[in-house]
Each structure stands twice: as C-alpha cells, then as structure tokens.
Chains A and B, each alone.
Chain A
C-alpha cells in the first residue's frame, strides 16, 4: 500500500504531538507532586496536556486539507466519522451505566486515545472490506 506525502507529513507531526503530550503529562504530574501548586496552578497543570491533544487534532485536520488523493481523503474522513460515532455511542452508554451506579467512574482522559484506536481499527476494517470487494469484482 502506497503512503502519500501528506500521510508521511501527518505521521511525523502526529508522532511529534504525541511526544509533546507525553512530556506534558509527565511534567505536569511531576510538578504537581513537587511544588504542591495553589488551586489556579493545579487547574493550569491539569489542562496543560490537553493543549497537545488540540495540536494532534489540528494535525489530523491539516492532513485532510493536504491529502491530494480524493479517494484516500474520503476514506479517512469516513473512518474518522465512524470512529467518532462509535466513541460517542460507547461514552453515552457508559454515562448511563454510571448514572445508574452500575459501573464505577471512567476516566474521560481516555477519550482521545480510544478514538485513535477506533480510527485505526476502522481503517483496517475498511481495507479488508475493500480488498474483498475488489477481489469479488475482479
């Protein structure tokens, strides 16, 4: 399978944003323990890693803008929407289960990693489906 120049740029940018996310989480956790910040500082340190997530999402958006292969771009957009749909459905179901005290609390910070995993799984599923369809059509 070929990888377009836009995909290569996306991968490097995404890896960069993920590394920044890791550094921000580690740094914020260390600082919180080390300096015992006041409430406003604690809020700032807690929100800081989300900036890296916002950067990751901007990277995803840039990829959709820069991808020149319209078929690949459409497939990626569909995969993103399907994974967002699954994530929203699952999180709503979890919310109702929590509301009725059927499960404990679920950390919301897993939403973005979960979306990334779902996006990858959806792409794999689409690739297998298309391969089977093209084999049938041949």
Chain B
C-alpha cells in the first residue's frame, strides 16, 4: 500500500530510527511500511496517523480508489 510516510518523516527531520522510537516499533518495521513491503494493522496505522496529526487516508493511499 502506497503511503506518505517517508515524506512526512522527512518534513519533520526524523530518521527512520526516530520514527520507530516514537511508534515503539523496530526500524525494520518503519522501513518495511515506507517501502510498501508491509501494510500495518489498523491500530498501528492509527498510531502513525495520530503521530503526524493526520487522518489515516492522509497518510495511506486507499488501494481501492488509487489511480
């Protein structure tokens, strides 16, 4: 699933490790989500969206409506 995680993280000047610590997951998890290799569960997706102060659909692209 495509997402804006890398851009949002870069805007805040956070490394993958910084984001991982804020989300309490491993850096590998952040890397896997950023590169689209892993789709997070709904609770983790909410945590990510909350951390950036956005809605889930502002972070993750809805696959059913993606062009």
Contacts and interface: CB of A to CB of B under 8 A. Distances in A.
B62 interface: no
B54 interface: no
Contact of B25 (A1, A71, A134, A138): A71
A71 B20 CA distance: 12
Contacts of A138: 35
B20 to A, nearest CB: 8
Contacts of A130: 28, 32, 37
Interface in B2-33: 24-29, 31-33
B14 to A, nearest CB: 16
Contacts of A71: 25-26, 28-29, 32-33, 38, 40
Interface residues of B, number: 16
B41 interface: yes
Contacts, number: 39
Give the dominant DSSP class at A's interface. helix
Contacts of A134: 31-32, 35, 37
B35 A74 contact: no
B25 A69 contact: yes
Interface in A29-82: 68-72, 74
Contacts of B27: 2
A137 B35 contact: yes
8 contacts: A1-B28, A2-B26, A70-B29, A71-B29, A133-B37, A134-B32, A137-B37, A138-B35
Query: 9 smallest A-B Cβ distances: which pairs?
Result: A71-B29, A137-B35, A69-B25, A69-B26, A2-B26, A71-B38, A134-B31, A71-B32, A134-B35
Interface of A: 1-2, 4, 68-72, 74, 130, 133-134, 137-138
